[in-house]
Every structure is written in structure tokens, then in C-alpha cells.
Amino acid sequence: MDFDLSEDQRLLADSVTRLLADRYGFEARKGFLKQPVGWSAEMWARYAELGLLGVPFAEEHGGFSGGPVEVMLVMQEFGRALALEPYLATVVLGGTALRLAGSAAQQAAILPAVAEGRLKLAFAHGERDARYDLSDVQTTAKRADGGWVLDGAKSVVLHGDSADRLVVSARIRGTREDPDGIGLFLVDAHADGLARRGYAMRDGTRAAELSLTDVAVVDSDVLGDPGSAFSVIERVVEAGIAAMGAEAVGAMEAMQSLTLEYSRTREQFGKPIGTNQVVQHRLSEMLMALEQGRSMAMLATISVEEPDPAERARSISMAKVGYGQAARFVSQQAIQLHGGIGMTEEYAVGHYFRRAMVIEHTFGDTAHHLARLAAQVQ
Amino acid sequence: MDLRFTPDELAFRDEVRAFIRDNLPADTRERMRLGYSPRKQDVVGWQRILNKRGWAALSWPKEWGGPGWTAVQRMIFIEENQAAPAPELLSFNITMLGPVLVQFGTEEQKRRFLPRAANLDDWWCQGFSEPGAGSDLAALKTAAKRVGDHYVVNGSKIWTSTAHNADWCFVLVRTNPAAAKRQEGISFLLVDMKTPGITVRPIISIDGAHHLNEVFFDDVKVPVEMRVHEENRGWDVAKFLLGNERTGIARLGKSRERVAAAKEAARQVRFNGKPLIEDAAFRQRVAQMEVDMKALQITQYRVVSAGARKTDGRPDPLSSVLKVKGTELLQSTTELAMDAAGPMAMPIWAQELAELANEPDLLSEAAEQATGSYLFLRAASIYGGTNEIQKNILSKAVLRL
């Protein structure tokens, strides 16, 4: 057991903290939200300069050769700043799919461009009727001269509107919920037959609904063995859950410190509200939830590279439940202790609240993961 | 960052597990498995076996019989011992008195008491709380008046766990009622329970059992050399004792054991036409507890690992998180085990009913004990500083409110 960070890891975390402290204040963020894409291209370029866009990639691909812990450090800072950029979609989700299933040629063509900030990815897997069932894929891929043709629809594709290339799952055989028979295909954002409708989610981050009508994909754009991509999809989602856990911790830390500061300065009945024991205890309960949530986010991070798939899936589900419940408690109490001001669009706490809510509903909510765990009780 | 045990730590865990498996006396094991509180002889017997192996005086220095373990090893040992389930080391001797004497005791006090405390030749109890001094410990009134080479002690203590088993008691007394601050007039005394003037009166708790007592002191003569640390500096000792390493305070092993007991019962009883273990709502409760246990386990690792590197000797305020979350979990796991028993959670004399039916009924015996645990462990969020006091500690020490 070891909770220490290496010197390199500390430097990485410090550099992200500094950049965001300088340039990602709450007011600056409001400006980024108003950009047509819903995030800051300038910040994206800064991330590339700092090497953040290549954190989990090999050095030969212009990366930092980092692992889940390095991603955790970046995501925690992004959570604190409520960063809007498509880092999760591009580097974590798209990047993991490429790293695990991409051929050497595919990796060489895509990962360096991602690390340099020239190419953005999205992971187009979820479908409207699938809820959180990862094997429920109705989009189809059919063999057609020298390649594949994709038909179907994808739903709530994170940052699907600004991606240059999309990693799309589609079924080449089998029935609707069969884990076997699913493939991953690289689709260009401007491919014929692909229609994207982008929108903002409750927290301001972007997503898209996709419809695919006779979208042609050449063989060299198939990721791995078509038909046996399910385990890759699981691992992409697990990496996403771990990264979002760190982000949730950053957001909880920010909510805790905003609320603490507010309770020290806000006066009612002639004294700061933080002098009331009922408020002190609530803040202590938030602290406890934050620390338990942090433990679970660590568990997710460490589990991403656990070799045993069953053990990995179980730890990831435990972590998602644990940090999801913690974030729900901390964010609800943060608003409550702020009172009316916590309800306003102008104040930061409500934005953290909504990020926590979106994270909880991404890649399986608490009920979904708890049910998975309950099924395994023996 | 790595949350896994190292190969050495895993080997240590296996060694502990194997030792407990091979050396825990069979009758003790059986009682513990059914959820009974260990009897005095179970506790004494097991601690002596551990002490012979050099594993009783957990956090004491090696020269006084400590095993020389790291904080992580102590955590592993405590958890394995609780989960076995085996009787726990007597905390009054091992985590309270021992470290206090090592830190503040005279050579004579150390030589006289430490080896006997490790081997449970003396059973110690803790005379802190009083009828008028619970969470507000500094309000204590039991008076010790210096007369020549003795103190004369008058007053009473309450909630004194296991005083009826005890040979000795460490007691907080007021030696200077006129001190400017009430914390400054308190001393820490070691009192032989056989001294004339001591009366122990049982308090039966809501589980129907005798864990707790009132202890009355009526002109009890205590030699001055039985005072630990300086006169009127007993509050320093008490603070040290209460803030001392609290590995094990989360009692995770005990929670694990209760969940295992609940699952064992749920495999044997039926609910809606199938074994309770197959019921979705029951499984969901178990799953939630497993999540909570995992979170607590990692938080405990973090506190223990940070504590191993701390040099200021002060307790980590995050140990209050372990206390609150650990006892909440312990209470919910005892609830689960009780609920699994269904109607058998209610009878008190399940054992007699079983004998009437002329067949051993281990299931209802376990059910009776599951309810007993549920009832008595309502105390878990009260003793050792109530959970509300822990939140006060977090508010002051961490949040600085």
C-alpha cells in the first residue's frame, strides 16, 4: 500500500493547477460556455502545450506514458475548475479505445494528432433504448464491398458534436443484447450519411445525438477484430468511470471549500452561520462523504489496470456507487447550506451540483451499479 | 499510488490467518461464530495465547513486549482477528493503559504493570465517565484528597465496561477543585479494585446482558505512587489516551463478520418461497454494505498510512471519520443480521426453546445473538466519544469552524 505520488506526478498536478487557477476562473468559464462549441479552443491549445492531451499515450505517440494515476490528477483539477473541454471524450474514452484496440498504423495516425490538439475524438456507443446496458447495441454494421456499412442511432454521445472522428459501436451479428458480435468503427465526422445534432447538457458540457444512414467504413478504419469489441467497450467505460471519479472528487472539494467559506462569512442573527452546531455537523458530514468518495475514486483509478475482468468490473461498480452517492450528498448539502444564493445560475455551487448530477448519470447510475453488485452477492 | 497489499503484507496476513485458525480454542471459536460475546475466560485465554506468540502488546515498544509491527501490520492483525471472529484484545490493557504507561509511567509502574497487562494477568477497566460527566468529561467530580502518602478517593463512575471482571481500574479524579480551568485540576490514578471502599453495581443494558457497571468510591485509599504523570496533569494523560492510535476503531473486521453471519442465516431461511439470500432487496442491502465497507477500508488505509509517517505524535483528526463511519456501518450490519432472523429475532430464550424441541437449533441461537449484537451496539455511536462529539472534533480540528 502506498499513497505517495512520484515527483513527476506532483509536477504534473501542479502545472494543471496553476494553468487553471490563472485562466479558468468562474467568470472566464462563463465566457467559454458562450463559445459556439461550448468550450475554449484556446484552453485546448494550452492543454496540448502542457502535454495534457497525451498523458496516457506512449512517448512514440507524443505522449507522457502516464497511467490511470496521471489521468486522475488531471481530471481532479478539471473537476475543481469545472473544465468544459472534451478531455474525457477525446483523451480518456477515444484514447483508451485506440490504445486497446487500434492497430499500430491507426495509433500512429491518430494518437499524435490528439496529443498535439489537432484531432478530437468521441465514443459513440450508447443508444436511446439501451439505458446503461453496454451490450445492448442495435446499430448495425453490414459487410459491403471492401468495407462496412453502418446504420442506426447513437444517443448522448459526449462531445459528439465537436469530435473530428468518432469511435462508433455497431453490431455485425447476434441478437440485440448479445455481448458477442459488436465491433468498433472509426467514422469521420463529415462522413456521408452521418447526421449529428449537438446540444448542451444540464451542466453545460456538450453531447450529441447521431443518426447513421448507410455510413461507409473502410476496413482500415475497423478497430480490432470486428465482432469481439465488447471487452474493449467495457474497458473504455471503466476508464471513463475512473476519470469521472477523480473529476467528482475535484468538484466535491470545490463545493466543500465554497460552502465552508460561505458559512464563515455569511451572517444571520448577528453571527456567522458556521457558528451554529447544526451547520458545523452538516459540514463535517460533507467532509466525511468527500473522504469516502475520494477513497472510492482512488479504488476506480487503481482498478482500471486490474487484470482480472470480474474483479475489475466489481471494483469499478463499487467505486461508481460510492463516489456517486458521496457527490450527491455533498452537492445537495452545498446548495442547502448556501440557501437562496446556491439556487442561482450566477453562483458557482449550482454549476458543480449539475456536473455532479451529470457524472452520476453517465456510464451507469447508482441504481445500475448497485444492481450489478447485488446480482453477485453470494 | 497503490491500494494493494505488498507481497510481504499479504504473507503477513496469511500468517495471522493461519495462526488464528490453528490456535483459537474450539469452544471459543464456536461461541464467537454464533455471535455470543466472549466470556471472561475466552478473552483471557486467547490474549495469553497471542501474548505467548508476542502478538498481544500491539503498539507497545519491543522492550515492553510489542511485536515491532508497522501500522499496516497492526491494522491487518486487528481486522483478521475481528473477522475470524476471535475475541478482541482487551482494549483497556492494550490500546489504553499500555501506551499511557509507556509514555508517562515511572520505571516501577512500567515493570509492575506492563507485562501483566499484556498477558491479561490483570484485567483493567476505565474509570472516566460519571453521572454528570459524559461527553463533557472535564466536568468530572470524583475527588481525590491527598492525605500523607495516599489519596483518599470519593465519588462514582458510570458505564464502566467490564468492571465486574476487573482487577484494576485507571481513574480520572479531581485533585484540585480550585484550579482556574477545570482541566487543570485532574489526576490519573491506578486503583486496585480490591481496595476497601469500592463497590461495583451492575447496569443491565438493553440487550439484557451485563457489560456495564457503576463503580462507587467511598474513602478509597490509593498510594501516591499509583498516580501516573504529575498531580493535576491527568488531563494530558486522558487526551493522550483518547487520541492514541485508533487503528481498529473502524471495527471493519467486526462489520465484515456480521455481514457474513447475515448471509449465512439468509441462505438457511426462506422468504417468499425462496431462500432469503435470493431476495433482490436483501441482496441490494448487502451490496450497499459491501460498498460502504470498501470505502471505509480504503479510508482506513489512508489514515493508517498517513499516521505511519506523522512525526508530531498528534492523532489524525480523520480518525474521527473512521469512528463515525465505522460505527454507522457496524450498526447497519448488525441490523442486517437481526433482520435476516425474521421472527426468530424476537425470542430471548431461543436456546431453551430449542432444547424443548430436543434438537440443537443453532440457527435460532445465532438469531438470538444477532439481536443481542444489534441491541448492544447501539452503544457504538455513544462510547469512545459520541458521534456528535466526533463531528465537533472534525468541525474544530479539520474545518476550523
Q: What is the mean pLDDT of residues A65-81?
A: 97
Catalytic residue among B245, B264, B278, B328: B245
A329 and A289 housed in the same domain:
yes
Number of helices (H) and strands (E), helices first, in chain A? Answer: 12, 10
**Collapsing DSSP states into helix, strand and coil, what is residue A363?**
coil
Comparing alpha-carbon positions, the chain B residue that sits nearest to A3 is B1
Q: What is the mean pLDDT of residues B154-180?
A: 97
B7-89: CATH topology: Butyryl-Coa Dehydrogenase, subunit A; domain 1 (1.10.540)
Architecture of domain B124-239 in this structure: Beta Barrel (2.40)
Q: What is the CATH number of the domain that holds A176?
A: 2.40.110.10
Q: What is the CATH number of the domain that holds A261?
A: 1.20.140.10
Q: How confident is the model at residue A173 (pLDDT cuts 50, 70, 90)?
A: very high
% of chain A beyond a pLDDT of 70: 100
Q: What is the mean pLDDT of residues A48-57?
A: 98
Q: What is the mean pLDDT of residues A50-72?
A: 97
The C-alpha atoms of residue B130 and residue A101 are separated, in whole angstroms, by 68
Of residues B263, B287, B302, nearest to A295 (C-beta) = B302
The C-alpha atoms of residue B370 and residue B338 are separated, in whole angstroms, by 5
With respect to residue A1, please indicate whether it lies within any of the assigned structural domains: no
pTM of the predicted model as reported, rounded to 2 decimal places: 0.94
Domain limit, last residue, from A197, A228, A259: A228
A173 and A221 housed in the same domain:
yes
Comparing alpha-carbon positions, the chain A residue that sits nearest to B260 is A378
A270 and A176 housed in the same domain:
no
Judge contact between A125 and A154, C-beta under 8 A: yes
Q: Domain residues of chain B, as ranges?
A: 7-89, 124-239, 246-398
A127 and A93 housed in the same domain:
no
% of chain B beyond a pLDDT of 70: 94
Q: Is B245 among the catalytic positions? A: yes
- CA B327 to chain centroid, in Å, comes to 12
B321 and A287 in contact by Cβ < 8 A? yes
Please choose, from the candidates B149, B135, B224, B134, the residue with its C-alpha nearest in 3D space to the C-alpha of residue B187: B224
The C-alpha atoms of residue B322 and residue A322 are separated, in whole angstroms, by 16
A143 and A175 housed in the same domain:
yes
Q: From the CA atom positions of chain A, what is the Rg in Å?
A: 21
Q: Which helix (H) or strand (E) holds A197?
A: strand A194-200
Poorest-confidence range of A331-335, A371-375, B3-7?
B3-7
Cα separations (Å) of B242 from A109, A365, B181?
Answer: 62, 41, 20
Domain limit, last residue, from A228, A255, A283: A228
pLDDT at residue B201 is higher than 80: yes
Q: Which of A278, A291, A366 to mutate to test the interface with B (most CBs of B within 10 A)?
A: A291
A177 and A165 housed in the same domain:
yes
With respect to residue A2, please indicate whether it lies within any of the assigned structural domains: no
Q: What is the mean pLDDT of residues A105-116?
A: 98
Chain B touched by A302 (CB under 8 Å): yes
Of residues B277, B287, B394, nearest to A284 (C-beta) = B394
* pLDDT tens column, A284-311: 999 999 999 999 999 999 999 999 999 9
CA distance A179 to chain B (A): 24
**Collapsing DSSP states into helix, strand and coil, what is residue B387?**
helix
With respect to residue A197, please indicate whether it lies within any of the assigned structural domains: yes
Judge contact between B296 and B326, C-beta under 8 A: yes
A313 and A341 housed in the same domain:
yes
- Record the cell numbers describing residue A172, joined without a space: 455485425
Chain B touched by A216 (CB under 8 Å): no
Chain B touched by A277 (CB under 8 Å): yes
Q: What is the mean pLDDT of residues B308-323?
A: 75
Q: How confident is the model at residue B246 (pLDDT cuts 50, 70, 90)?
A: low
Comparing alpha-carbon positions, the chain B residue that sits nearest to A377 is B283
Q: How confident is the model at residue A221 (pLDDT cuts 50, 70, 90)?
A: very high
Cα separations (Å) of A124 from A23, A100, A166, A247, B187?
Answer: 31, 16, 6, 21, 70
Cα separations (Å) of B249 from A1, B137, B385?
Answer: 20, 20, 11
Domain residues for the domain of A271 are 231-375
- Which residues of chain A does B263 touch, with a Cβ-Cβ cutoff of 8 Å? 377-378
* pLDDT tens column, B349-359: 655 665 666 66
* pLDDT tens column, A234-247: 999 999 999 999 99
Q: Could you tell me how many CB contacts below 8 A there are between chain A and chain B?
A: 121
Predicted pLDDT at B244: 72
Q: What is the mean pLDDT of residues A349-366?
A: 98
With respect to residue A44, please indicate whether it lies within any of the assigned structural domains: yes
Chain B touched by A263 (CB under 8 Å): yes
Please choose, from the candidates A335, A326, A341, A342, the residue with its C-alpha nearest in 3D space to the C-alpha of residue A286: A326
A111 and A130 housed in the same domain:
no
Instruction: Provide the number of structural domains found in chain A.
Output: 3
pLDDT at residue B53 is higher than 90: yes
Q: What is the CATH number of the domain that holds A93?
A: 1.10.540.10
A85 and A197 housed in the same domain:
no
Architecture of domain B246-398 in this structure: Up-down Bundle (1.20)
Domain limit, last residue, from A228, A256, A280: A228
For residue B229, give the DSSP letter: S
Q: Which of A292, A296, A366, A369 to mutate to test the interface with B (most CBs of B within 10 A)?
A: A292
A69 and B1 in contact by Cβ < 8 A? yes
Chain B touched by A278 (CB under 8 Å): no
The C-alpha atoms of residue A188 and residue A150 are separated, in whole angstroms, by 12
- Which residues of chain A does B298 touch, with a Cβ-Cβ cutoff of 8 Å? 295-296, 298-299
